[in-house]
Amino acid sequence: MRRREFITLLGAATTCPLTARAQQPRKLPTIGFLGAGTSSVWSQWTVAFVQRLHELGWVEGRTVTIEYRWAEGRPERYSEIATEFVRLKVDVIATVGSAVPATMQVTTTIPIVFAIAVDPIGTGAVASLAKPGGNVTGFSMQTIELPGKRIELLRAVLPDLLQLAVIANVGYPAALHEAAEVQAAADTLGIEIEMLEIRRAEDIAPAFDKLKSGVQALYVCADALINTNIARINTLAPGARLPTAHPFREFLGTGGFMSYGAKTTDLFRRAADLVDKILKGAKPADLPVEQPTTFELVVNLTAAKALGIRIPEAFLLRADEVIE
């Protein structure tokens, strides 16, 4: 072989690997999506989150990777999933407040965005709403007015309401906080509270079996365990002739009676805005925790008819949505 040909072949051999390496696709930014419940219960929220990301230019599989993991209402899964996200080196974790404390124990560096949190300050997720500090930010539902408002709405439909059951996962501090606010609001209205305390899905049916006679309605404190088992609750409650008050409109599709709270799909869309900012370089510590400014009342007329409850026309006119 001539010397010139040998040099040419040698040059090609040494530059080809470099060229191949240069042409390898750049790793896409990765979002770890930690769903506290199941994919089916969260479907509307997940769609809202992904749709907003798409509007902001983040197209799944093309400009961003989303790793979905579902805890299925089991809090012990939070740490496992967070540990997996650390191993995958995700750029940001999107979740809800119940999963934040466990996730914070796993990572203090990966940004965490919560779409909903009942008590982010009380659980230690953030130092304050204005200056969250650390690696966490999101949207807070922390307001003492909401439980009282839901009870007032129940009484508007049930003017003789004197006994109210409250179902809550007593293993979740934020649910205990909400239950205490419900108790305080009920005391001012002369309503007696009966607590249905649960810690796992198997506790739900026995809790209903222990209900005292005379209970007239059920207040539902949301958390991952409750959310995952909402269909079961909305089956047992009508069986006990109890209209239910929920925080989320999405819980009425399985037979819930009424909901009052922020529009959850909007919160997940706004969470996508925060994720967008973080992927573009913003720090969670510099992004204040926001609160919803508008709330919606939704009434399930089908559930009302099944329970034999006549809803006043004035009440229906107040509703933002009536499910028929």
Q: What's the pLDDT at 144?
A: 65
Q: Which residues contact 34 (CB under 8 A, 6 or more apart)?
A: 69, 71, 78, 81, 82, 85, 93, 94, 95, 99, 103
**Domain match, 86 and 160 both:** no
**Domain match, 173 and 257 both:** yes
Q: What's the pLDDT at 10?
A: 43
**Domain match, 131 and 235 both:** no
The end-to-end CA distance of the chain, in Å, is 86
Q: What's the pLDDT at 56?
A: 98
**Domain match, 216 and 100 both:** no
**Quick check: 73 and 199 in contact, CB under 8 A?**
no
Q: Does some domain include residue 110?
A: yes
**Domain match, 229 and 253 both:** yes
**Domain match, 186 and 129 both:** no
Q: What is the CATH number of the domain that holds 108?
A: 3.40.50.2300
Domain of residue 127: give its range.
Answer: 30-141+264-286
Q: Does some domain include residue 18?
A: no
Q: Does some domain include residue 307?
A: yes
**Domain match, 83 and 217 both:** no
| Rg, Å, the chain Cα set | 24
**Domain match, 175 and 301 both:** yes
**Domain match, 100 and 189 both:** no
Tell me the helices (H) and strands (E) count for the chain, helix number first.
12, 12
**Domain match, 215 and 316 both:** yes
**Domain match, 135 and 271 both:** yes
Q: Does some domain include residue 9?
A: no
DSSP string, 153-181: HHHHH-TT--EEEEEEETTSHHHHHHHHH
Q: Does some domain include residue 8?
A: no
Q: Does some domain include residue 16?
A: no
**How many domains does the chain divide into?**
2
Q: Does some domain include residue 119?
A: yes
**Domain match, 196 and 97 both:** no
Q: What's the pLDDT at 294?
A: 84
Q: Does some domain include residue 15?
A: no
Query: One digit per residue, pLDDT tens: the chain, 324 residues?
Result: 444 444 444 444 444 444 444 445 578 999 999 999 999 989 999 999 999 999 999 999 999 999 999 999 899 999 999 999 999 999 999 999 999 999 999 999 999 999 998 888 888 899 999 999 999 999 998 666 889 999 999 999 999 999 999 999 999 888 888 999 999 999 999 999 999 999 999 999 999 999 988 999 999 998 889 999 999 999 999 999 999 999 999 899 888 999 999 999 999 999 999 999 999 999 999 999 999 888 999 999 999 999 999 999 999 999 999 998
**Quick check: 202 and 218 in contact, CB under 8 A?**
no
Long-range contacts made by residues 309-318, C-beta under 8 angstroms, separation at least 24? 309/157, 309/158, 309/243, 309/257, 311/157, 312/156, 312/157, 315/153, 315/156, 315/157
**Quick check: 198 and 229 in contact, CB under 8 A?**
no
